[in-house]
Amino acid sequence: MPASGKNNSLKNWTDTELCRRLKIKFPIVQGPFGRGASSALLTATVSNAGGLGSFGANDLSADAITKVAAEIRNLTDKPFGINLWVSTFDDGGDSLDENTYRRVAELLKPYYQELDIQAPPFETIRKQQAPNFEKQVTALIEAQPAVFSFVFGIPSAAILNECKQRGIVTAAGASTVEEAVALDEAGVDFIVASGFEAGGHRPSFLKSAEESLVGIFSLLPQVVDQVSVPVIAAGGIADGRGILAALTLGADSVQIGTAFLACDESSANDLHKRILFQKEAQATVLSRSFTGRLARGINNRYAAEMKSQEARFAKYPAHSWIVAPLREMALSQGRFDLIALWAGQSAPLVRHHKADRLLAALVDEVENILTTRFS
């Protein structure tokens, strides 16, 4: 039994708060993928198989959120989650001034030249806008998914109350104990403790992401000890061993990203999925070079060369607007040395190409370990 006593017995590992509240079979959440890597099919496949599928909607308009919720409902009658980013831009990142544009375009010039493309004109880029969280969350609440999960901050009390009234369960990302306590005090239903092993963006919101890097073995038990609500462990979990380790440290449930990202049903591009199964996936790095916010992905030439240039980057998401054409062209040329390949540190443990098989394997692995080592 974990020290916290929040999980009664590992033998009853599926009898958790998340499973009880949502009436799902397994305490396994498919992590949401923002910036286009989620799919309705992946979300529904995981929910149909007894886990909790999630859709990352941080880049979608309010109308698109309504549409995607309907699309998921066409594929499943089981609970699912939709995820948003509470803060949709960093200071100065919601628009781009000409000086910053010129600085970043100059920095990226060798790559544009290498790919034989032009920098996107300033006039095009300055029309772009960061998504409006208030509009997104209004559409999300109206769509009424079973779960509203979010990162990068705390929504207003009015939003959290509205979720409670409508029976939408809230799950909030924390990268430090301090963030977890703030979220607990705000009244969220579940905390997602995100270890720095995790793929994708660091969800930090109280201090800088660089000052909030804690591994899941250290973060999880501390969060469990400090908050009053159940904790979902995220980061570095890719098989049954990881699930049991997290439950032993006091997690109610787990959230798995990279292993689901690699599945055929995700919307990650084929190049990205292929590399997740190759030796390149053994080395991941945290970098701001793709979007302006710190995120973990497979180390490649662009991330390595940009490491010393961070002071010249634009803020999130403006930085990603200037990088976007580079990404598109590099992708069309199969240039994995230049694109973001989000992945967590456990990517080398990824084995499965089908999401339902992955979920079934995770469950089998947990059951096998319990039978062979704990009976």
Ligand X SMILES: Cc1cc2nc3c(=O)[nH]c(=O)nc-3n(C[C@H](O)[C@H](O)[C@H](O)COP(=O)(O)O)c2cc1C
Residues forming contacts to ligand X in the complex (CB under 6 A) are 31-34, 37, 56, 58, 83, 149, 151, 173, 194, 197-200, 234-237, 255-258, 261, 342, 344, 346
The 8-class DSSP code of residue 342 comes to B
- How far apart (Å, rounded) are the C-alpha atoms in residues 350 and 9? 28
Minimum CB distance to ligand X smaller for 259 or for 326 = 259
- How far apart (Å, rounded) are the C-alpha atoms in residues 162 and 27? 25
Q: How far is the CB of 274 from ligand X (least distance, A)?
A: 15
Q: How far is the CB of 54 from ligand X (least distance, A)?
A: 7
Sign (positive/negative) of CA torsion 156, 24, 199, 131?
A: negative
Q: How far is the CB of 256 from ligand X (least distance, A)?
A: 5
Q: Closest residue to ligand X, Cβ-based?
A: 257
Minimum CB distance to ligand X smaller for 120 or for 235 = 235
Q: How far is the CB of 308 from ligand X (least distance, A)?
A: 25
Minimum CB distance to ligand X smaller for 100 or for 170 = 170
Residue that is written with structure tokens 């634009």 in the block: 314
Residue 133 in tokens: 């969280």
Minimum CB distance to ligand X smaller for 54 or for 100 = 54
3-class secondary-structure state, position 349:
helix
| CB atoms closer than 10 angstroms to residue 228 | 9
Minimum CB distance to ligand X smaller for 108 or for 341 = 341
Please enumerate in sequence order all residues whose Cβ is within 8 A of that of 112, keeping only pairs 6 or more positions apart, or say none. Answer: 118, 119, 325, 326
- How far apart (Å, rounded) are the C-alpha atoms in residues 54 and 203? 16
- How far apart (Å, rounded) are the C-alpha atoms in residues 296 and 196? 8
Please count the CA atoms within 13 angstroms of the CA of 124 that sit on its side-chain side: 8
Q: How far is the CB of 365 from ligand X (least distance, A)?
A: 15
Minimum CB distance to ligand X smaller for 125 or for 256 = 256
Q: How far is the CB of 157 from ligand X (least distance, A)?
A: 21
